[in-house]
Structures are given as C-alpha cells and as structure tokens.
Chain A
C-alpha cells in the first residue's frame, strides 16, 4: 500500500507540472468570452479569408458578379438527442438554415454529415433522418451532399451532425445600427434552452423547444430591417452585446418588454440562471429604423404573436437593461451555464 501511494503521488506531481493551461475546457465551446478568445486564435492563425467577408456574422459572404453568395457551417451535439418532440436532426437543419436566413438569404442547398457511435440505435437514426427530411421538405431546401463516419464505441457520445449551407441573394442584411433605431424580438425567448434543461433535470413542464426555420419570417421583413441575429448559444445576452460592440453603440432594453414565458422564468429562477442566456433555436432579434418598427412587429406577429419591440439603440456602449426598479448592465455570458448549488 505504501509503495502504491508513493507511486500515485509521484504520478500526480508529474502531471501537475505539465498539464496546466494546455488543454481545451468545456467553457471554450459555450458561446461566452472564452469561446470568443478561441475563435480569435483560429482567425489569427488562419490568416486572411480572401475576398470573403467573414467578420463576426452568422455566414461568410462573397460578392460574385452582382450576387452575394452566403456560406455557413455548424456542428451539433445535444444531450438528450430527443427532446419534447424534436431531435438533433431538426436542430441541425434549423441551426444552419437560420444562420443563412439572418443574413437575409435562403439556402440553396444544405449538406448533412454524420459521425455516429458504433452501437447507435438504427431506429433512432431513422427518426433523426426523418426529421431532417421533414425540415428539408417544409422549407424546400434540399439536402444535396453529406458524409457518414462511424466511430468505435465510446470514442464519441452517440452522434454528431454537421450541416453546411450555401445561399444566394442580391443584398446582405448587415447595415450598421445607430442612435434612435429600434430593437425587435420575433417571439418569446429562452424556450429551447429552458425546455432542454427541464428534460435534463427531469422536471415536468409544458415547455417545448422553439426550434424552427425562420427563413420566411426574416425574408418577409428583410426590406424593413438593418440587421438580424439568432440568439442561439449565449441567448439574447450574447447577441445584444455582440451588436453593441460591433457598431459601438448602446442597446437599451426594457426588461418588461422582453417576451419570456412564465414557465421559463420560473425554471430559471429555481436554477439561478438567466433566461437571457438561454439558447433559442427559432427566434431572432432584429434592428429597424424607428419609423419602420411598427410595421416590422405587425408582420412578425403573423408568425408569432409575442413579437415585440424590446428596446432602442443609443449613443454609448454595452447593453443596459431597464429593470423594474432601475437599470443594470446585461453582460456577455461567460462559459457554461451551471445551475446554482443551493
């Protein structure tokens, strides 16, 4: 026993001296500050992007002749892979379609690649590919290419799906926002993140994911808005901060106007997490000139009655939330969302 313990301590000291700061942590993939730092490292190392414009938007764009081509890619892992009527396949389609949509275009086609763990249930895979087919049919966006790999049991967790899409349009939805503009959200926020959290924690709720393609909604109001963003990882807190930073303005948000379902609020309260950091998969936030705001909201309400103006753009920096009693900063989410201990 004595020798055994000494050996273990020796191994421990050896590891301590070598391993610090040299490994990727989960928080570097969670949409917060840490992930931004990692992306900066990628960008710096990859160097330029040729004639492509890929500055912090959801899709990269390139002008060819008089048309813009849009290109985006996303990998999907989710636990659990089936959740309140939806699944990872649905998510993988909507996520990538929406990244093209918020740039003001509709995907021409989409690629779907699978990395599947050995032993994965074939019937589950059937359900997933059926969801992919359903979204493809409903949006009239064909799956045009893809790839499949199977990994040895235990080497990955069940299934990873990558989707990439290409779109085309005459214009890019990427205008600068300025003092006086109005911020609009297309529906209630946090439903997806909260519903997944509820499933993971085995809470019985009526929450459903909001995962859906938003192409039609964005295209309907495209001519009236300056920019749109879908609040996936990091929720609206992340994208509002991103918008404020990009155009060096302040976003002033009225908390009472943000549509959040009571069940989402209660769940977040219980867990000590912010609904504004909860991911949405079928919502977007857009900015319009003040004069166009009413029309945008009216058009969006044809799709979702909860669409509303939530704030305005001002001179300044950061995101300021007008609360019931005063004002506070809505900061960029950091790292992973962890339910509080007590």
Chain B
C-alpha cells in the first residue's frame, strides 16, 4: 500500500518544479524523521518543519514570568514538558528543586485535585487548540490560569507572507479534531490534514501534489477517522465561553496579532491577578547564537545552527526547539 503510494508520488512529481510542503505539527515532524520519510520522496519535493511545537514557541518572557510567580510563592501546575524550557536565567526545573510549589500534572483534572490543598494554584496553560479545551474546563471551575495558549492558523498566515516559499501545508491532525477542517480554507493554499502514520503522511503529500498540479487550493481530509467538518462543537463552545482571542508573543517570531487565547474573566487571569509581580520581570534577549527563530519558520534546518549538537543537546538544551520531544532540533538530534 505504502509502496504504491510512493510510486504515485514519484510519478506525479516528475516534471514538477521544486515544491516545498510545510508540516506544522511536531508530531508529524517526529513521524517524518522516525521513518526517514524525507529520503524516500522525490528530490524536487521538500518537506520543511514549521512552528508546530507549543513548547518551542513559548516566549522566554512567559517562562520568566511563571518562574517569577513560583519564586514569589504562588503554586504552579503545568505539564512536564514545560519544566526544562530555558527562561532568561532559569527554567521551572531550576526553581522546582528549591522548595517552590511547582507541580507536574498529566491532565487538568490533576489541577483540580491540587486546588483542594492549594486554593491559589495557577495553571500554566500551554498548547494549541488541542489542549485549550482542558484549560477552558479549568477556567469554568474558576481556576486561575497563566495562558500561553496559541492558535495555529495565524502564524501559518504570517508564514505565507514571509520570505519562505511554501506551496502547501500538512495540517495538524490533533488541532483539526478540535477546530474541524472547514476553517483551513481561509489559508487559500493546497493543504491536507494528516494523521500520524507514515501512510497518512504519504497520502497527504500525494493529495497536496495533486492539488498543486491542478491549480486547486483547498483542503483534503486524510484523517477522516477523527477529523470532522466542524470539529468538536462542545469543546469549542466551552472555549468561547471562557476564553477570548488576544495577541500573543511567539518565541523567535515575535508578536502575532490575534494568535493567542486569554481567560475572559480577569479574576482567573494570572497575568492580571499578579500584575504587580509580573511587571518587574525583565527578560533578556534570546541567546544570540541560537537560531531557533529561523528553524521555527522553516528557513534553516537544525544542522545549520552552530549550537546544534555541540553546546545544544537534548540533555543540555540551549534553544527551545531542543527542549521538547516534539521540537524540530530535538527530533533531528534523536534521529540523526
């Protein structure tokens, strides 16, 4: 099955000009690297990795702010991946070992349990649309949230206006389970929503190539076992009830208008509730030699960064792309 798909890809690619397809989900990058998919594609078909790892795009300032809250005695709960992300001086892991109240949670229901003992707990919310419903659920229960939640479509729009040439997108499967496939139309480029098997990646590449060849600019759903037209309506209702769209800072990219989500209720917004502490947080500039920003935009590959594999390794990450297992550099380090 995969063999015949690959043959179809090679056949359709014959005579096509160079094509760049961006996958924006770290999960897809992982599958692509794990199975060596790039090496199996025709030479003129290039897969490039985009800003699809939520850990990697969390700004240094957000990490510094949550570190400041923790050091000020505010109990913090967040997912394990966030602990090692470097801030200006420290990561959450650095401060966790010093008796601050930072709790690793596997799901937001753990936060509710923690809240019984720590009434003023702040949930450090992270992730694209996939994880937003869980945070929205906490907000409904009046748990205070420091939100770094981000929306997937705005940076993709921004990238299309950027210096990099993108002919099509492999759209993220999990995000699409929440937002559905209709909304992707607004990007107006060939796209395929993919699942996480090699076969689904090949199918998506093939569908995108077909569209490019015929001049079509629409969305093909290659993950129809879980992605529907309108997405998860109940989850979206909950998000709309508790959160509002805002501008957000992306590490390495900068502020993208209307690309983030914040709690609607100021009482549950840690950025407002603790503004006295947070206004004094001063973030340093990112490590100047670190080229995460270009990697996140797909402009360069990890090996093009001088720090990669030398001073920046998975056990001692310098840049955000090396921290998370879904980060482009971490994946490249693991599989190369």
Contact = CB atoms under 8 A, between A and B. Distances in A.
Contact of B315 (A19, A21, A273, A335): A335
Interface string A1-44: 11001001101100110011101111100001110000000000
A338 interface: yes
Contacts of B130: 342
Nearest to B54: A341
A12 B90 CA distance: 12
Interface stretch (B16-24, B30-38, B217-225, B226-234): B30-38
A329 B331 CA distance: 11
Nearest to B314: A334
Contacts of A338: 79-81, 325
A272 interface: yes
Nearest to A325: B35
Contacts of A26: 93
A15 B27 contact: no
A5 B72 CA distance: 8
Closest 7 CB pairs of A and B: A23-B97, A326-B36, A342-B130, A338-B80, A12-B71, A8-B72, A33-B315
A290 interface: no
A33 B79 CA distance: 22
B162 interface: no
B37 A19 contact: no
A340 B73 contact: no
Contacts of A19: 90, 94-95, 97-98
A324 B35 contact: yes
B327 to A, nearest CB: 11
Contacts of B84: 27, 335
Interface size class of B (residues with CB under 8 A): 35 or more
A338 B198 CA distance: 23
B51 interface: no
B183 interface: no
Contact of B54 (A5, A15, A342): A342
Nearest to A32: B315
Nearest to B88: A16
Nearest to B68: A12
Contact of B127 (A200, A272, A335, A341): A341
Given A16-B90, A326-B36, A342-B174, 13 more contacts: A1-B276, A2-B276, A15-B71, A19-B97, A19-B98, A25-B97, A272-B326, A325-B40, A329-B335, A341-B54, A341-B79, A341-B126, A341-B127
Interface in B297-325: 314-315, 324-325
Contact of B335 (A20, A201, A328): A328
Interface in A318-335: 323-329, 331, 334-335
Chain A, interface size: which category?
Answer: 35 or more
Nearest to B280: A9
B126 A331 contact: no
B277 A8 contact: yes
A9 B80 contact: no
A336 interface: yes
A130 B2 CA distance: 52
B336 A329 contact: yes
Nearest to B277: A5
Given A269-B196, A341-B81, A34 B315 contact: yes
Contacts of B36: 323, 325-328
Interface in A124-160: none
A316 interface: no
A15 B106 contact: no
A200 B106 CA distance: 9
A201 B80 CA distance: 14
Contacts of B97: 19, 23-25
A339 interface: yes
Contact of A11 (B40, B71, B175): B71
Contacts of B208: none
A256 B167 CA distance: 35
**A2, A16, A34, A339 — most chain B CB neighbours (10 Å):** A16
Contact of B35 (A34, A273, A326): A326
